Amino acid sequence: MGCAQGKDLDVFVHCNRTELDALLCYLAQYGRLDYGPYGSPRFYPEGMDEYYADIIPFYNFIVSEKPVTDIYTLLSNFDFTANALGYNLKTGDFYDPVGGTEDIRNKILRAVRLDFPEKPVSPSVPLSAVSVFWFRLLHYQHKLDFHFDGQTERWVLDNSWRYSKDIAAFEKYFFKPMLSPHMSRLLKIGR
């Protein structure tokens, strides 16, 4: 945390509910706890309210029928390759199971998978996980100045209907997405 360009860190923990509760009790001594839009605990270090860490237990990361049991399965279920990188704080091991480092070097935004189930993000957010994924792809493509790979761009264009249907809810629960002028033209969105 404290990275000049980022304000959050996703911390995945392989634990049970009792171990998670103990971790949250410990963290509460050093900052504030809240819950993010996906329903995971969010830790704000004391005196650093602009930075936070989402604490996500493996058992709570449900994005496919196959349960997440290890870091490789976890990262292979992320949204885009440049985001599917991991670092083990205990061992110092770096994980890149889907080629995210190479895509970053080549400034390519590539979806890890395009078969996410059309289910709600969480009980409190009336948006499908697929729509959130769609908006995130557009936002990060512009923000990072990356280019979509062909398959991801076709999927984004095929799902353009999500913009008018879900933009208000996405902005309410997440953030106002930025779109590149090129993608705005392709999607016929006047922003």
Q: State the residue range of the domain holding 143.
A: 99-191
| pLDDT over 70, % of the chain | 93
Residue 146 lies in a domain: yes
In whole numbers, what is the pLDDT of the chain averaged over residues?
Answer: 88
Distance CA 104, CA 100 (A): 6
Indicate if the pLDDT at residue 3 is higher than 70.
no
For the entire predicted model, the pTM comes to 0.78
Q: How confident is the model over 58-80, as pLDDT tens digits?
A: 777 766 677 777 888 888 888 89
Residue 117 lies in a domain: yes
pLDDT grade for 1, boundaries at 50, 70 and 90: very low
Residue 20 lies in a domain: no
Residue 186 lies in a domain: yes
| pLDDT over 90, % of the chain | 54
Closest by CA position to 177, among listed 129, 125, 149, 141: 141
Distance CA 151, CA 111 (A): 8
Indicate if the pLDDT at residue 178 is higher than 90.
yes
Residue 5 lies in a domain: no
Residue 114 lies in a domain: yes
Total domains, the chain: 1
Please check whether residue 96 is in contact with residue 104, taking contact to mean a CB–CB distance below 8 angstroms.
no
Indicate if the pLDDT at residue 191 is higher than 50.
no
Alpha helices in the chain (DSSP H): 17-28, 71-75, 100-105, 129-144, 150-158, 161-173, 181-187
